[in-house]
């Protein structure tokens, strides 16, 4: 505890403007992140909140390495951070069975070779963690409900015991009752394994209980960051107040 | 689960009709390997251009050869060439389409323009050019038809790969450390097997027709061993004298194409 | 209160597969003039199906519907197509969850907003239609409505698109507005704005609203009365305050427990 797992310094991310006119010269670049800096300690849960378009997903993509077109520095203590996506309907390959999907991270593991039995054993462990019956291994994603799929997504992310997990709006597409279950699951996993979690959401109600720290973003900039309790009790930026109001939390 | 699938198949008129027609044709071809009423190349001067009868189910041709036996043999040749064509066309096309679609960029632009050019070229003409340069023969026929079929498969696969490439599950797999090649062939391609199955069946039809067309033009298989197209071409001068000569191979070509077309439509509608 | 819509014993059954599947059972709803009623339940609970039936949008042959949906002395389940059509979009309007796909991408916003007027009130002139559409766009809180009028759906944000949907639904000044999860796909800040907008419409125009959601906390902000559905059945109904204070059914308790509670 206490050691830095992730340090982002002065991160700028640009996107190419796709809407290019026929004769206009160079591509215009849109800046999605403007000098974002923050640090995260091991075992922390950091919530990143903001409206769609504020750059929170861009930040996640830069950290996990899907988007490499950035300037600035991202220091990570461990390799291969994992990510859980928002839409559990598009983040599981529809042509593969759940068991196959869970085994895949082990099959492509370059650090060590997993035998068939080891893989099976690990999958069973994970199925227990994500509280799904083993019979589901034989099913296809389309035969699962949204909440079950999101559990599988979390399971896939956990297969190789990552030290940092990024959850990008993992519950926004789910019903409220299911949301509560998934949040409970994430909280459990955090307690049990001490994984550092970055939790991205547009809803400040959702992140309150799970997060130690919260960072509010708007238009690619960090508006406010601090301990969750402090920010909720005593928000500094107007935008934070607006978000809190919208979530029905009046400070 | 399995039982349900069967029920669903039996309920679909396209799959049932296609299955029956294709099944009969395949049965005829398979039986032809072991037994044929007559030797397909054996001539008989006494029985020239006879109509259909119990002795000769589809009559005889201008050299007194039994047409039914020749059709049995000819459909085998036609089917083999069609299968070979599709294996080459779909195989090469899938690889090109998947790789260009997945990587995109300059490689994609150039390859697709070449494919477009190839596509704009009538396939029969292309085959004619290849055959006239490299001579007539099985291999040339297969290769030229195969090349002619690459563009359509490359395009279909490229489009599907482009669609799948930006799905979350592909990014998810990339985060696990899946390599590009594994991504294309293990993660993405299984998702397009439905589209592939129906386009293979449709392509199959075109291959049967293209082979028949080329043989009809005289650059396909050579006498005395005949494919269906070749027989059709031979028979046309006797069309009025002995209609059963034309009808035999003609009907089989129609049935073959129809059967595959039904199957293709059935698979396309599946689910 | 004057009753404007009276649904009794609504049953909806699907006959797509070998065994008929019941989607909605014994659904009753009385909607007063100017009232906002919430229907809460998880996906698959039948809440959207009931709403679609009321809007007359469940017309496939494979769907069997029984019961009565009385609106202005007509049973919407048995009336002829023409009568139903004359109500749809004019007297009864519906807005959907996904503002991205419910708008036609190749038509400009003005066209989509005017559509209902064009269909139901052919006598209105083009200029008048445009004037009303722009007024309506302003009424749903879109600033510089003239500019928005000429724009296309992809140029708008999710929240703006949902406002456009509401404008299009409200242009004929309907008596009933059905809102099927109108805020689920939106950010919380925008959600709150849309809820405010619906309140304003209800207040100023006296439109009755059926608000469908899976989020009980949202419903409690907007509705006086709430119906809780589970697996096609109504498990609880009553005034929102009452249901919140003393939930009787196990499932309602679960829904209330699922609302994230924050004590600072």
> How would residue A111 be classed by pLDDT, with cut points 50, 70 and 90?
confident
CA nearest A58: which of A24, A32, A21, A89? Answer: A32
- The pLDDT tens digits for C34-50 are 999 999 988 888 888 88
Q: Give me the residue label for tokens 């510089």.
A: C144
CA nearest B161: which of B87, B88, B111? Answer: B111
> How would residue A119 be classed by pLDDT, with cut points 50, 70 and 90?
very high
Query: Which residues of B are less than 8 Å from A94 in CB distance?
Result: 169, 191
Query: Does residue B189 lie within any of the structural domains?
Result: yes
Are the C-beta atoms of B68 and B37 separated by less than 8 Å? yes
The first and second tokens of residue C29, run together, are 């709803």
Q: At what angle do helices B67-103 and B193-216 cross, to 10 degrees?
A: 130
Residues in chain C: 264
CA nearest A46: which of A182, A222, A251? Answer: A222
Average pLDDT over residues B104-124: 84
Are the C-beta atoms of C223 and C38 separated by less than 8 Å? yes
Rounded distance between C-alpha atoms, residue B141 and residue C244, angstroms? 78
Are the C-beta atoms of A247 and A205 separated by less than 8 Å? yes
Q: At what angle do helices A238-246 and C188-205 cross, to 10 degrees?
A: 60
Q: Give me the residue label for tokens 């059935």.
A: B266
Q: Does residue B126 carry a pLDDT above 80?
A: no
Min Cα separation C215/chain A (Å): 6
Q: Which residue of chain C comes nearest to A180, CA vs CA?
A: C258
Residue C26: CB atoms within 10 Å = 12
Minimum-distance CB partner of C215 among A176, A245, A246: A176
Are the C-beta atoms of C9 and C67 separated by less than 8 Å? yes
Average pLDDT over residues C208-213: 93
The answer to whether the Cβ–Cβ distance between C190 and A248 falls below 8 Å is: no
The answer to whether the Cβ–Cβ distance between A232 and C254 falls below 8 Å is: no
Query: Does residue B53 lie within any of the structural domains?
Result: no
Are the C-beta atoms of C3 and C176 separated by less than 8 Å? no
* Element spanning A13, H or E: strand A4-16
HEC profile of chain B: CHHHHHHHHHHCHHHHHHHHHHHHHHHHHHHHHHCCCCCCCCCCHHHCCCCCCCCCCCCECCCCCEHHHHHHHHHHHHHHHHHHHHHHHHHHHHHHHHHHHHHCHHHHHHHHHHHHHHHHCCHHHHHHHHHHHHCCCHHHHHHHHHHHHHHHHHHHHHHHHHHHHCCHHHHHHHHHCCCHHHHHHHHHHHHHHHHHHHHHHHHHHHHHHHHHHHHHCCCCCCCCCCCHHHHHHHHHHHCCCCHHHHHHHHHHHHHHHHHHHHHHHHHHHCC
Rounded distance between C-alpha atoms, residue B127 and residue B114, angstroms? 17
Name the phi and psi angles at C96, rounded to 5: -110, 175
State the chains in contact with C (3 or more Cβ–Cβ pairs under 8 Å).
A
Note the ipTM here.
0.83
Query: Does residue B225 lie within any of the structural domains?
Result: yes
Query: Does residue B48 lie within any of the structural domains?
Result: no
Q: What is the DSSP secondary structure assignment for residue C46, as one 8-state letter?
A: S
Rounded distance between C-alpha atoms, residue B78 and residue B135, angstroms? 19
Which pLDDT score is estimated for B86? 92
Q: Does residue A19 carry a pLDDT above 70?
A: no
- The pLDDT tens digits for C4-24 are 899 999 999 888 777 788 889
- The pLDDT tens digits for C100-128 are 778 888 889 999 898 888 888 888 888 88
Query: Which residues of A are less than 8 Å from C235 in CB distance?
Result: none
Are the C-beta atoms of C183 and C163 separated by less than 8 Å? no
On the question of a cis peptide bond just before residue B24, with omega within 30 degrees of 0, the verdict is: no
Query: Does residue B138 lie within any of the structural domains?
Result: yes
Query: Does residue B222 lie within any of the structural domains?
Result: yes
Q: Is A64 on the interface with B (CB under 8 A)?
A: yes
Mutate to test the interface with A, among C159, C260, C263, C264 (most CBs of A within 10 A): C260
Give A199's Cβ-side CA count (13 Å radius).
Answer: 30
CA nearest A224: which of A31, A54, A52? Answer: A54
Q: At what angle do helices A146-158 and A116-129 cross, to 10 degrees?
A: 130
> How would residue A20 be classed by pLDDT, with cut points 50, 70 and 90?
very low
Query: Does residue B24 lie within any of the structural domains?
Result: yes
> How would residue B222 be classed by pLDDT, with cut points 50, 70 and 90?
low
What is the domain extent for residue B188? 10-35+64-270
Domain count across chain B: 1
Rounded distance between C-alpha atoms, residue B13 and residue B17, angstroms? 6
Average pLDDT over residues A213-236: 92
Min Cα separation C98/chain A (Å): 12
Pairing outcome for strands A29-41 and A82-84 = unpaired
State the chains in contact with A (3 or more Cβ–Cβ pairs under 8 Å).
B, C
Q: Which residues of A touch C (CB under 8 A)?
A: 51-53, 146, 175-180, 183, 202-206, 208-209, 229, 232-233, 242-243, 245-249, 251
Q: Is B175 on the interface with A (CB under 8 A)?
A: yes
Which pLDDT score is estimated for B92? 94
Q: Which residue of chain C comes nearest to A240, CA vs CA?
A: C189
Q: Does residue C87 carry a pLDDT above 80?
A: yes
Average pLDDT over residues C240-264: 86
Q: Residue A97: CB partners within 8 Å, gap ≥ 6? A: A137, A138, A139, A140
The first and second tokens of residue B206, run together, are 């075109």
User: Domain with B138 in it: what CATH number?
Assistant: 1.10.3720.10
The pTM of this model reads: 0.81
User: With 0-12 CB in 10 A as exposed, 13-18 as middle and 19+ as buried, what is A74?
Assistant: middle
- The long-range contacts involving B126-133, CB below 8 angstroms and separated by at least 24 positions, are B127/B210, B127/B214, B127/B219, B128/B214, B128/B217, B128/B219, B131/B214, B131/B219, B132/B219
Average pLDDT over residues B213-235: 76
Query: Does residue B42 lie within any of the structural domains?
Result: no
Are the C-beta atoms of B161 and B170 separated by less than 8 Å? no
The first and second tokens of residue B29, run together, are 């071809």
Looking at per-residue confidence, does C185 or A117 come out higher?
A: A117
The first and second tokens of residue B77, run together, are 């040749």
Which pLDDT score is estimated for B5? 77
Q: Is C150 helix (H, G, I), strand (E, B) or coil?
A: helix
Query: Which residues of B are less than 8 Å from A144 in CB distance?
Result: none
């Amino acid at each position: 505890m206490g050691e830095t797992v992730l340090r982002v310094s002065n991160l700028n991310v640009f996107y190419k403007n796709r809407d290019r006119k026929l004769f206009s010269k160079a591509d215009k670049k849109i800046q999605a992140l403007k000098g974002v800096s923050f640090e995260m300690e091991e075992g922390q849960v950091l919530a990143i909140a903001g409206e769609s378009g504020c750059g929170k997903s861009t930040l996640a993509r830069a950290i996990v390495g899907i988007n490499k077109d950035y300037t600035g520095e991202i220091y990570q203590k461990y390799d291969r951070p994992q990510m859980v996506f928002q839409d559990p309907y598009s983040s599981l390959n529809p042509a593969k069975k759940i068991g196959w999907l869970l085994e895949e991270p082990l099959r492509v593991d370059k650090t060590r070779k997993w035998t068939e039995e080891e893989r099976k054993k690990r999958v069973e462990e994970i199925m227990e963690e994500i509280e799904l019956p083993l019979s589901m291994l034989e099913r296809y994603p389309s035969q699962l409900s949204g909440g079950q799929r999101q559990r599988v997504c979390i399971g896939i992310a956990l297969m190789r015991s990552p030290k940092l997990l990024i959850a990008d709006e993992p519950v926004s597409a789910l019903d409220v009752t299911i949301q509560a279950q998934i949040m409970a699951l994430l909280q459990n996993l955090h307690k049990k394994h001490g994984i550092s979690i970055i939790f991205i959401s547009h809803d400040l109600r959702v992140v309150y209980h799970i997060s130690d720290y919260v960072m509010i973003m708007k238009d690619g900039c960090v508006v406010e960051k601090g301990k969750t309790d402090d920010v909720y009790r005593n928000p500094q930026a107007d935008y934070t107040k607006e978000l809190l109001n919208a979530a029905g939390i009046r400070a | 689960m399995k039982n349900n699938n069967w029920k669903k198949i039996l309920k679909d008129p396209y799959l049932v009709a296609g299955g029956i027609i294709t099944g009969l044709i395949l049965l005829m071809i398979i039986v032809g390997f072991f037994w044929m009423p007559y030797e397909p190349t054996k001539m008989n001067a006494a029985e020239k251009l006879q109509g259909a009868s119990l002795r000769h189910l589809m009559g005889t041709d201008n050299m007194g050869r039994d047409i039914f036996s020749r059709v049995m043999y000819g459909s085998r040749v036609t089917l083999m060439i069609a299968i070979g064509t599709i294996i080459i066309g779909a195989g090469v096309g899938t690889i090109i389409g998947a790789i260009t679609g997945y990587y995109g960029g300059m490689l994609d632009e150039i390859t697709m323009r070449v494919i477009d050019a190839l596509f704009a070229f009538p396939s029969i003409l292309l085959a004619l050019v290849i055959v006239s340069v490299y001579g007539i023969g099985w291999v040339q026929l297969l290769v030229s038809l195969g090349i002619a079929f690459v563009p359509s498969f490359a395009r279909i696969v490229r489009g599907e790969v482009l669609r799948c490439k930006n799905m979350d599950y592909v990014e998810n797999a990339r985060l696990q450390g899946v390599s590009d090649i594994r991504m294309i062939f293990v993660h993405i391609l299984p998702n397009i097997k439905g589209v592939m199955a129906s386009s293979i069946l449709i392509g199959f039809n075109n291959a049967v027709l293209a082979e028949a067309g080329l043989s009809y033009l005289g650059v396909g298989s050579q006498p005395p061993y005949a494919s269906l197209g070749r027989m059709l071409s031979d028979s046309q001068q006797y069309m009025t004298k002995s209609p059963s000569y034309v009808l035999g191979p003609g009907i089989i070509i129609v049935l073959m194409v129809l059967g595959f077309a039904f199957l293709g439509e059935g698979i396309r509608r599946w689910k | 209160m004057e009753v404007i819509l009276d649904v009794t014993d609504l049953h909806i059954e699907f006959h797509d597969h070998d065994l008929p599947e019941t989607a909605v059972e014994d659904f009753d709803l009385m909607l007063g003039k100017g009232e906002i009623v919430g229907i809460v339940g998880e996906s698959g609970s039948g809440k959207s199906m009931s709403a679609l039936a009321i809007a007359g949008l469940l017309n496939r042959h494979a769907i069997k519907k029984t019961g009565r949906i009385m609106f202005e002395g007509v049973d919407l389940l048995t009336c002829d197509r023409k009568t139903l059509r004359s109500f749809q979009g004019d007297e009864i309007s519906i807005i959907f969850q996904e503002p991205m796909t419910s708008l036609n991408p190749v038509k400009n916003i003005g066209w989509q907003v005017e559509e209902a007027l064009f269909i139901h009130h052919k006598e209105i002139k083009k200029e008048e239609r445009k004037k009303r559409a722009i007024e309506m766009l302003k009424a749903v809180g879109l600033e510089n409505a003239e500019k928005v009028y000429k724009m296309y759906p992809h140029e708008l944000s999710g929240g703006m698109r949902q406002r456009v949907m509401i404008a299009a639904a409200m242009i004929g000044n309907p008596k009933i507005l059905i809102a099927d999860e109108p805020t689920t796909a939106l950010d919380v800040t925008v959600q709150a704005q849309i809820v405010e907008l619906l309140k304003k419409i209800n207040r100023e125009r006296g439109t009755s609203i059926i608000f469908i959601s899976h989020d009980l906390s949202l419903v409690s902000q907007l509705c006086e009365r709430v119906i809780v559905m589970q697996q096609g059945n109504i498990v609880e109904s009553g005034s929102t305050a009452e249901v919140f204070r003393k939930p009787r059914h196990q499932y309602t308790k679960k829904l209330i427990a699922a609302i994230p509670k924050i004590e600072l």
